[in-house]
Copies of this chain bind each other. A is one copy, B any other.
Amino acid sequence: MVVVMQRGASKPLIEAVIGQLGELGFDVHRSSGVNQTVLGAIGVKPDFDIRQVQVMEGVAKVYRVTEPYKFASRAWRQNNTQFEVNGHVIGGEAITVIAGPNMVESESQLDQVASYISELGGAFLRADIDRPRSSPYSFSGHGISSLKLLRSVAEKYNLAVVSKANSATMVEAMFDHVDVFHVSAHHMQNFELLKVIGEAKKPVILKRGLSATIEEWLMSAEYILKEGNTEVVLCEGGIRTFEKYTRNSLDLSSVPVVKERSHLPIIVDPSHATGFRNKVTPMARAAIAAGADGVMIETHPDPLKAISEGAQALFFEEYVELLKQVQNIASSIGR
Protein backbone atom coordinates (compact mmCIF):
# COMPACT_ATOMS: atom_id res chain seq x y z
CA MET A 1 0.00 0.00 0.00
CA VAL A 2 1.26 3.46 -0.88
CA VAL A 3 0.14 6.33 1.34
CA VAL A 4 0.55 9.81 -0.10
CA MET A 5 0.52 12.55 2.54
CA GLN A 6 -1.00 15.96 1.83
CA ARG A 7 1.39 18.65 0.62
CA GLY A 8 2.91 20.36 3.59
CA ALA A 9 1.58 17.82 6.11
CA SER A 10 3.37 18.56 9.40
CA LYS A 11 5.95 16.22 10.90
CA PRO A 12 3.74 15.24 13.87
CA LEU A 13 0.90 14.45 11.49
CA ILE A 14 3.14 12.24 9.38
CA GLU A 15 4.42 10.50 12.46
CA ALA A 16 0.92 9.95 13.73
CA VAL A 17 -0.01 8.22 10.47
CA ILE A 18 3.15 6.10 10.62
CA GLY A 19 2.19 5.16 14.16
CA GLN A 20 -1.32 4.15 13.17
CA LEU A 21 0.00 2.11 10.24
CA GLY A 22 2.35 0.37 12.65
CA GLU A 23 -0.56 -0.46 14.95
CA LEU A 24 -2.38 -1.95 11.98
CA GLY A 25 0.58 -4.29 11.57
CA PHE A 26 2.34 -2.71 8.61
CA ASP A 27 6.04 -2.32 8.05
CA VAL A 28 6.40 1.32 6.92
CA HIS A 29 8.99 2.90 4.60
CA ARG A 30 9.12 6.66 4.45
CA SER A 31 10.18 8.66 1.43
CA SER A 32 10.16 12.43 1.83
CA GLY A 33 10.40 14.88 -1.05
CA VAL A 34 10.57 18.64 -0.62
CA ASN A 35 6.82 19.15 -0.60
CA GLN A 36 5.37 15.77 -0.14
CA THR A 37 5.93 12.59 1.83
CA VAL A 38 5.04 9.16 0.51
CA LEU A 39 4.79 6.16 2.82
CA GLY A 40 5.11 2.58 1.65
CA ALA A 41 3.23 0.15 3.91
CA ILE A 42 4.25 -3.45 3.46
CA GLY A 43 2.22 -6.43 4.64
CA VAL A 44 -1.25 -5.47 3.42
CA LYS A 45 -3.64 -8.41 3.50
CA PRO A 46 -6.07 -8.81 0.60
CA ASP A 47 -9.02 -8.04 2.85
CA PHE A 48 -7.65 -4.76 4.18
CA ASP A 49 -10.00 -1.85 3.51
CA ILE A 50 -7.72 0.99 2.42
CA ARG A 51 -10.36 3.57 3.23
CA GLN A 52 -9.32 3.05 6.86
CA VAL A 53 -6.09 4.83 5.97
CA GLN A 54 -7.69 7.25 3.56
CA VAL A 55 -9.73 8.85 6.34
CA MET A 56 -6.66 9.46 8.57
CA GLU A 57 -5.82 13.12 9.09
CA GLY A 58 -3.14 14.40 6.73
CA VAL A 59 -3.53 11.61 4.18
CA ALA A 60 -4.09 12.72 0.58
CA LYS A 61 -4.38 9.41 -1.26
CA VAL A 62 -3.94 5.71 -0.72
CA TYR A 63 -3.22 3.08 -3.35
CA ARG A 64 -3.35 -0.67 -3.01
CA VAL A 65 -0.25 -1.94 -4.75
CA THR A 66 -0.90 -5.65 -5.10
CA GLU A 67 -3.68 -7.19 -7.18
CA PRO A 68 -6.52 -8.34 -4.93
CA TYR A 69 -6.49 -11.82 -6.54
CA LYS A 70 -3.75 -14.41 -6.41
CA PHE A 71 -4.66 -17.87 -7.76
CA ALA A 72 -6.34 -16.29 -10.77
CA SER A 73 -3.29 -14.23 -11.73
CA ARG A 74 -0.75 -14.88 -14.42
CA ALA A 75 1.90 -14.23 -11.76
CA TRP A 76 0.70 -17.32 -9.87
CA ARG A 77 0.64 -19.56 -12.90
CA GLN A 78 2.63 -18.66 -15.99
CA ASN A 79 1.17 -21.27 -18.33
CA ASN A 80 -2.35 -21.22 -19.69
CA THR A 81 -4.76 -23.41 -17.76
CA GLN A 82 -6.05 -26.24 -19.93
CA PHE A 83 -8.34 -29.10 -19.02
CA GLU A 84 -10.26 -31.82 -20.71
CA VAL A 85 -14.01 -32.31 -20.69
CA ASN A 86 -15.49 -35.22 -22.56
CA GLY A 87 -12.30 -35.67 -24.57
CA HIS A 88 -12.24 -32.01 -25.63
CA VAL A 89 -9.49 -29.71 -24.33
CA ILE A 90 -10.66 -26.27 -23.20
CA GLY A 91 -8.00 -23.57 -23.29
CA GLY A 92 -5.82 -25.43 -25.77
CA GLU A 93 -4.92 -24.66 -29.36
CA ALA A 94 -8.29 -25.63 -30.82
CA ILE A 95 -11.23 -23.39 -30.09
CA THR A 96 -14.24 -24.57 -28.10
CA VAL A 97 -17.82 -24.18 -29.27
CA ILE A 98 -20.53 -24.73 -26.69
CA ALA A 99 -24.01 -24.68 -28.16
CA GLY A 100 -27.62 -25.44 -27.45
CA PRO A 101 -30.97 -23.85 -26.72
CA ASN A 102 -31.55 -21.38 -23.93
CA MET A 103 -33.81 -23.66 -21.94
CA VAL A 104 -34.79 -27.30 -21.86
CA GLU A 105 -38.25 -27.44 -23.40
CA SER A 106 -38.89 -31.00 -24.55
CA GLU A 107 -37.17 -34.22 -25.52
CA SER A 108 -37.85 -33.57 -29.17
CA GLN A 109 -36.34 -30.08 -28.97
CA LEU A 110 -33.21 -31.37 -27.28
CA ASP A 111 -32.90 -34.34 -29.56
CA GLN A 112 -32.99 -32.21 -32.68
CA VAL A 113 -30.37 -29.78 -31.40
CA ALA A 114 -28.11 -32.47 -29.93
CA SER A 115 -28.29 -34.39 -33.14
CA TYR A 116 -27.04 -31.54 -35.30
CA ILE A 117 -24.47 -30.33 -32.78
CA SER A 118 -23.05 -33.82 -32.63
CA GLU A 119 -23.12 -34.31 -36.37
CA LEU A 120 -21.17 -31.08 -36.82
CA GLY A 121 -18.46 -32.34 -34.48
CA GLY A 122 -19.52 -30.55 -31.28
CA ALA A 123 -18.66 -31.85 -27.82
CA PHE A 124 -21.06 -29.87 -25.62
CA LEU A 125 -24.77 -29.36 -25.19
CA ARG A 126 -25.89 -26.33 -23.23
CA ALA A 127 -29.39 -25.71 -21.93
CA ASP A 128 -30.68 -24.28 -18.70
CA ILE A 129 -33.39 -25.58 -16.43
CA ASP A 130 -34.05 -22.43 -14.45
CA ARG A 131 -33.26 -18.84 -15.10
CA PRO A 132 -32.20 -15.79 -13.13
CA ARG A 133 -35.03 -13.61 -14.30
CA SER A 134 -35.82 -10.03 -13.79
CA SER A 135 -39.56 -10.63 -13.86
CA PRO A 136 -41.43 -12.89 -11.45
CA TYR A 137 -43.86 -13.70 -14.22
CA SER A 138 -41.37 -15.21 -16.63
CA PHE A 139 -40.99 -18.85 -17.43
CA SER A 140 -38.77 -20.45 -14.81
CA GLY A 141 -37.99 -23.91 -16.08
CA HIS A 142 -39.09 -27.40 -15.22
CA GLY A 143 -36.40 -28.09 -12.66
CA ILE A 144 -34.56 -31.28 -12.03
CA SER A 145 -36.61 -33.52 -14.29
CA SER A 146 -35.54 -31.23 -17.15
CA LEU A 147 -31.97 -31.81 -16.15
CA LYS A 148 -32.37 -35.58 -16.30
CA LEU A 149 -33.88 -35.25 -19.75
CA LEU A 150 -30.97 -33.07 -20.81
CA ARG A 151 -28.58 -35.64 -19.43
CA SER A 152 -30.11 -38.56 -21.24
CA VAL A 153 -30.22 -36.76 -24.60
CA ALA A 154 -26.64 -35.57 -24.18
CA GLU A 155 -25.50 -39.11 -23.44
CA LYS A 156 -27.26 -40.44 -26.49
CA TYR A 157 -25.13 -38.11 -28.64
CA ASN A 158 -22.04 -38.29 -26.46
CA LEU A 159 -22.15 -34.60 -25.56
CA ALA A 160 -21.08 -33.02 -22.29
CA VAL A 161 -23.81 -31.17 -20.38
CA VAL A 162 -23.42 -27.46 -19.58
CA SER A 163 -26.13 -25.94 -17.39
CA LYS A 164 -26.66 -23.06 -15.01
CA ALA A 165 -26.64 -23.35 -11.24
CA ASN A 166 -28.38 -20.37 -9.65
CA SER A 167 -27.96 -21.21 -5.97
CA ALA A 168 -25.91 -23.33 -3.63
CA THR A 169 -28.77 -25.78 -3.25
CA MET A 170 -29.04 -26.20 -7.01
CA VAL A 171 -25.37 -27.20 -7.19
CA GLU A 172 -25.96 -30.20 -5.03
CA ALA A 173 -29.10 -31.25 -6.87
CA MET A 174 -27.41 -30.87 -10.26
CA PHE A 175 -24.07 -32.40 -9.40
CA ASP A 176 -24.58 -35.85 -10.90
CA HIS A 177 -26.22 -34.59 -14.07
CA VAL A 178 -23.88 -31.93 -15.41
CA ASP A 179 -20.34 -31.93 -16.72
CA VAL A 180 -19.84 -28.18 -16.57
CA PHE A 181 -21.58 -25.75 -14.25
CA HIS A 182 -22.45 -22.35 -15.62
CA VAL A 183 -22.64 -19.33 -13.31
CA SER A 184 -24.69 -16.56 -14.85
CA ALA A 185 -23.87 -12.86 -14.91
CA HIS A 186 -26.54 -12.25 -12.28
CA HIS A 187 -24.78 -14.57 -9.87
CA MET A 188 -21.16 -13.59 -10.49
CA GLN A 189 -21.06 -12.15 -6.98
CA ASN A 190 -23.27 -14.72 -5.26
CA PHE A 191 -20.46 -15.74 -2.95
CA GLU A 192 -22.27 -18.63 -1.31
CA LEU A 193 -22.78 -20.12 -4.76
CA LEU A 194 -19.15 -19.56 -5.75
CA LYS A 195 -17.90 -21.26 -2.61
CA VAL A 196 -20.05 -24.34 -3.17
CA ILE A 197 -18.97 -24.52 -6.82
CA GLY A 198 -15.38 -24.26 -5.65
CA GLU A 199 -15.90 -27.21 -3.36
CA ALA A 200 -17.75 -29.17 -6.04
CA LYS A 201 -14.58 -29.43 -8.11
CA LYS A 202 -16.32 -29.66 -11.46
CA PRO A 203 -15.47 -27.46 -14.44
CA VAL A 204 -17.31 -24.16 -14.33
CA ILE A 205 -18.03 -21.35 -16.76
CA LEU A 206 -18.06 -18.07 -14.88
CA LYS A 207 -19.83 -15.30 -16.72
CA ARG A 208 -18.88 -11.67 -16.23
CA GLY A 209 -21.45 -9.61 -14.31
CA LEU A 210 -23.33 -6.97 -16.27
CA SER A 211 -21.57 -4.11 -14.59
CA ALA A 212 -18.52 -5.91 -13.27
CA THR A 213 -14.98 -4.80 -13.96
CA ILE A 214 -12.49 -7.44 -15.08
CA GLU A 215 -10.84 -7.17 -11.67
CA GLU A 216 -14.09 -8.02 -9.90
CA TRP A 217 -14.63 -10.90 -12.31
CA LEU A 218 -11.19 -12.31 -11.55
CA MET A 219 -11.97 -11.90 -7.84
CA SER A 220 -15.05 -14.06 -8.32
CA ALA A 221 -12.89 -16.67 -10.06
CA GLU A 222 -10.57 -16.44 -7.06
CA TYR A 223 -13.44 -17.55 -4.81
CA ILE A 224 -13.76 -20.75 -6.80
CA LEU A 225 -10.02 -21.38 -7.26
CA LYS A 226 -9.35 -20.83 -3.58
CA GLU A 227 -11.58 -23.79 -2.71
CA GLY A 228 -9.37 -25.98 -4.84
CA ASN A 229 -11.39 -26.04 -8.05
CA THR A 230 -8.95 -25.08 -10.81
CA GLU A 231 -11.15 -25.81 -13.82
CA VAL A 232 -12.59 -22.35 -14.33
CA VAL A 233 -13.46 -20.85 -17.72
CA LEU A 234 -14.22 -17.15 -17.87
CA CYS A 235 -17.04 -16.11 -20.19
CA GLU A 236 -17.46 -12.57 -21.51
CA GLY A 237 -21.17 -12.09 -22.01
CA GLY A 238 -21.52 -8.34 -22.37
CA ILE A 239 -21.68 -5.39 -20.01
CA ARG A 240 -24.37 -2.83 -19.44
CA THR A 241 -23.69 0.45 -21.21
CA PHE A 242 -25.82 3.33 -22.48
CA GLU A 243 -26.21 1.63 -25.85
CA LYS A 244 -29.76 0.49 -26.55
CA TYR A 245 -29.54 -1.06 -30.04
CA THR A 246 -28.00 -4.18 -28.51
CA ARG A 247 -29.12 -5.85 -25.30
CA ASN A 248 -25.69 -5.39 -23.73
CA SER A 249 -22.28 -4.39 -25.07
CA LEU A 250 -19.80 -7.16 -25.71
CA ASP A 251 -16.49 -5.97 -24.27
CA LEU A 252 -14.10 -7.93 -26.45
CA SER A 253 -11.10 -6.02 -25.09
CA SER A 254 -11.56 -8.22 -22.05
CA VAL A 255 -10.11 -11.08 -24.09
CA PRO A 256 -6.56 -9.73 -24.45
CA VAL A 257 -6.77 -8.21 -20.95
CA VAL A 258 -7.67 -11.57 -19.37
CA LYS A 259 -4.98 -13.31 -21.41
CA GLU A 260 -2.43 -10.88 -20.00
CA ARG A 261 -3.50 -10.92 -16.37
CA SER A 262 -4.71 -14.46 -15.90
CA HIS A 263 -3.90 -18.02 -16.95
CA LEU A 264 -7.57 -18.97 -17.18
CA PRO A 265 -9.25 -19.74 -20.50
CA ILE A 266 -11.81 -17.23 -21.76
CA ILE A 267 -14.78 -17.79 -24.06
CA VAL A 268 -17.39 -15.34 -25.34
CA ASP A 269 -21.20 -15.48 -25.48
CA PRO A 270 -22.36 -13.29 -28.38
CA SER A 271 -25.95 -14.61 -28.23
CA HIS A 272 -26.83 -13.24 -24.85
CA ALA A 273 -24.67 -10.13 -25.24
CA THR A 274 -26.17 -8.83 -28.47
CA GLY A 275 -29.66 -10.25 -27.92
CA PHE A 276 -30.43 -10.56 -31.63
CA ARG A 277 -29.56 -13.46 -33.86
CA ASN A 278 -28.34 -11.42 -36.80
CA LYS A 279 -25.54 -9.96 -34.64
CA VAL A 280 -24.32 -13.32 -33.31
CA THR A 281 -22.14 -14.52 -36.17
CA PRO A 282 -20.13 -11.32 -36.72
CA MET A 283 -19.46 -11.04 -33.00
CA ALA A 284 -18.50 -14.73 -32.74
CA ARG A 285 -15.98 -14.13 -35.52
CA ALA A 286 -14.67 -11.06 -33.72
CA ALA A 287 -14.35 -12.96 -30.44
CA ILE A 288 -12.14 -15.64 -31.99
CA ALA A 289 -10.15 -12.98 -33.85
CA ALA A 290 -9.53 -11.18 -30.55
CA GLY A 291 -8.02 -14.39 -29.17
CA ALA A 292 -10.87 -16.00 -27.26
CA ASP A 293 -10.62 -19.73 -26.58
CA GLY A 294 -14.14 -20.34 -27.75
CA VAL A 295 -17.72 -19.19 -28.02
CA MET A 296 -21.01 -20.12 -26.41
CA ILE A 297 -23.89 -20.01 -28.89
CA GLU A 298 -27.64 -20.37 -28.56
CA THR A 299 -29.32 -22.38 -31.29
CA HIS A 300 -32.80 -23.85 -31.40
CA PRO A 301 -34.58 -26.17 -33.83
CA ASP A 302 -37.36 -23.61 -34.15
CA PRO A 303 -36.35 -20.19 -32.79
CA LEU A 304 -39.71 -18.63 -33.61
CA LYS A 305 -41.38 -21.04 -31.20
CA ALA A 306 -38.69 -21.00 -28.52
CA ILE A 307 -40.10 -20.61 -25.05
CA SER A 308 -37.38 -18.09 -24.14
CA GLU A 309 -34.68 -16.01 -25.83
CA GLY A 310 -35.87 -17.08 -29.27
CA ALA A 311 -34.76 -13.75 -30.74
CA GLN A 312 -31.13 -14.55 -30.12
CA ALA A 313 -31.17 -18.25 -31.07
CA LEU A 314 -29.68 -19.25 -34.41
CA PHE A 315 -31.60 -21.32 -36.91
CA PHE A 316 -29.88 -24.57 -37.81
CA GLU A 317 -28.51 -23.24 -41.13
CA GLU A 318 -27.22 -20.10 -39.42
CA TYR A 319 -25.43 -22.25 -36.88
CA VAL A 320 -23.77 -24.29 -39.62
CA GLU A 321 -22.62 -21.06 -41.25
CA LEU A 322 -21.34 -19.66 -37.95
CA LEU A 323 -19.24 -22.77 -37.35
CA LYS A 324 -17.70 -22.44 -40.77
CA GLN A 325 -16.92 -18.75 -40.43
CA VAL A 326 -15.59 -19.05 -36.91
CA GLN A 327 -13.35 -21.93 -37.99
CA ASN A 328 -12.04 -19.83 -40.88
CA ILE A 329 -11.09 -17.06 -38.49
CA ALA A 330 -9.45 -19.57 -36.15
CA SER A 331 -7.38 -20.97 -39.01
CA SER A 332 -6.33 -17.53 -40.14
CA ILE A 333 -4.77 -16.87 -36.73
CA GLY A 334 -3.20 -20.28 -36.55
CA ARG A 335 -5.62 -22.14 -34.31
Stretch from A92-100, A134-142, A147-155 contacting the other chain: A134-142
Asked if B249 and A68 make an inter-chain contact with CB atoms under 8 angstroms apart, the answer reads no
A142 to chain B, nearest CB (A): 15
Chain B, Cβ-Cβ closest to A274: B253
Complex A-B: 17 CB contacts under 8 Å: A2-B63, A51-B310, A133-B191, A134-B219, A166-B191, A167-B190, A211-B240, A211-B242, A214-B245, A239-B243, A245-B257, A249-B253, A260-B278, A285-B333, A286-B286, A289-B329, A332-B332
Asked if B250 and A253 make an inter-chain contact with CB atoms under 8 angstroms apart, the answer reads yes
User: What CA separation (Å) do A6 and B261 show in the bound complex?
Assistant: 12
A19 on interface, CB distance cutoff 8 Å: no
Given contacts A132-B191, A245-B213, whether A282 and B308 have CB atoms under 8 Å apart is no
Asked if A276 and B134 make an inter-chain contact with CB atoms under 8 angstroms apart, the answer reads no
User: What CA separation (Å) do A75 and B276 show in the bound complex?
Assistant: 20
User: What CA separation (Å) do A33 and B28 show in the bound complex?
Assistant: 10
Asked if A213 and B33 make an inter-chain contact with CB atoms under 8 angstroms apart, the answer reads no
A201 on interface, CB distance cutoff 8 Å: no
Asked if B186 and A166 make an inter-chain contact with CB atoms under 8 angstroms apart, the answer reads no
Total A residues in contact with B, Cβ cutoff 8 Å: 108
A177 on interface, CB distance cutoff 8 Å: no
Q: What's the number of copies of this chain in the assembled complex?
A: 4
In the complex, chain B residues whose CB is within 8 Å of the CB of A240: 211, 242
Asked if B243 and A52 make an inter-chain contact with CB atoms under 8 angstroms apart, the answer reads no
User: What CA separation (Å) do A256 and B280 show in the bound complex?
Assistant: 9
Asked if A49 and B311 make an inter-chain contact with CB atoms under 8 angstroms apart, the answer reads yes
Q: Mark A182-210, 1 if CB is under 8 A from B, else 0.
A: 00001101111011000000000000001
Overall SS of chain A's interface: mixed
User: What CA separation (Å) do A2 and B33 show in the bound complex?
Assistant: 12
A274 to chain B, nearest CB (A): 6
A88 on interface, CB distance cutoff 8 Å: no
Chain B, Cβ-Cβ closest to A227: B136
Which residues of chain A from 61 to 82 have a CB within 8 Å of any chain B CB? 61, 63, 65-66, 68, 75
In the complex, chain B residues whose CB is within 8 Å of the CB of A223: 136
Stretch from A39-47, A109-117, A119-127, A156-164 contacting the other chain: A39-47
User: What CA separation (Å) do A226 and B287 show in the bound complex?
Assistant: 36
Choose among B34, B38, B291, B311 the residue that contacts A282 (Cβ–Cβ < 8 A). B291
